[in-house]
């Protein structure tokens, strides 16, 4: 990746299995396995279960992070996968997540992060 420090995938996952999206242990396991499937090195994991429903969590990887926020009542998950460097392809993790959350439809986009200018502009 010569033109940016990292790649950030934003994924809207619709029609997901509500029972999966409301199971903290399962969501955490799927997120960690997605990171590993993409070749990332997992550093920290933190997930929270909301009442009456929903899960939010982060998997911190050496290459950056994976995050999720779920709305089981809507079958919806907001997923972010941000990786730096060339060793890990964030799309591998996103595809794993889409499959294991059983998403019927998705809208995903990639943003390049840390795009550096050839000359830095000094602001006084």
Domains in the chain: boundaries: 6-113
Q: How confident is the model at residue 116 (pLDDT cuts 50, 70, 90)?
A: confident
Query: For the purposes of burial, counting CB atoms within 10 Å of the CB of 101, is it exposed (0-12), middle (13-18) or buried (19 or more)?
Result: buried
pLDDT the model gives residue 2: 65
Predicted confidence (pLDDT) per residue in 86-104, tens digit: 899 999 999 999 999 999 9
Tell me the CATH architecture of domain 6-113: 4-Layer Sandwich (3.60)
- How far is the C-alpha of 3 from the C-alpha of 68, rounded, in Å? 27
Radius of gyration of the CA atoms of the chain, in A: 16
Active site residues: 64, 69, 84
* Model pTM score: 0.90
Top pLDDT among 119 and 80 is at 80
89 vs 83: CA distance, rounded Å: 7
Residue 93 phi, psi dihedral angles, 5° rounding: -65, -45
On the question of a cis peptide bond just before residue 52, with omega within 30 degrees of 0, the verdict is yes
């Amino acid at each position: 990746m010569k033109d940016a420090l990292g790649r950030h995938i934003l994924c809207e996952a619709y029609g997901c299995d509500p029972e999966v999206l409301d199971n903290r242990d399962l969501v955490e396991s799927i997120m960690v396995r997605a990171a590993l499937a993409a070749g990332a090195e997992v550093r920290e994991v933190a997930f929270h279960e909301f009442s009456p429903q929903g899960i939010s969590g982060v998997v911190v990887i050496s290459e950056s992070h994976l995050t999720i926020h779920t709305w089981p009542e809507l079958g919806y998950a907001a997923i972010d996968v941000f990786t730096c460097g060339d060793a890990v392809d964030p799309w591998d993790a996103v595809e794993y997540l889409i499959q294991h959350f059983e998403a019927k439809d998705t809208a995903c986009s990639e943003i390049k992060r840390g795009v550096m200018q050839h000359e830095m502009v000094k602001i006084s």
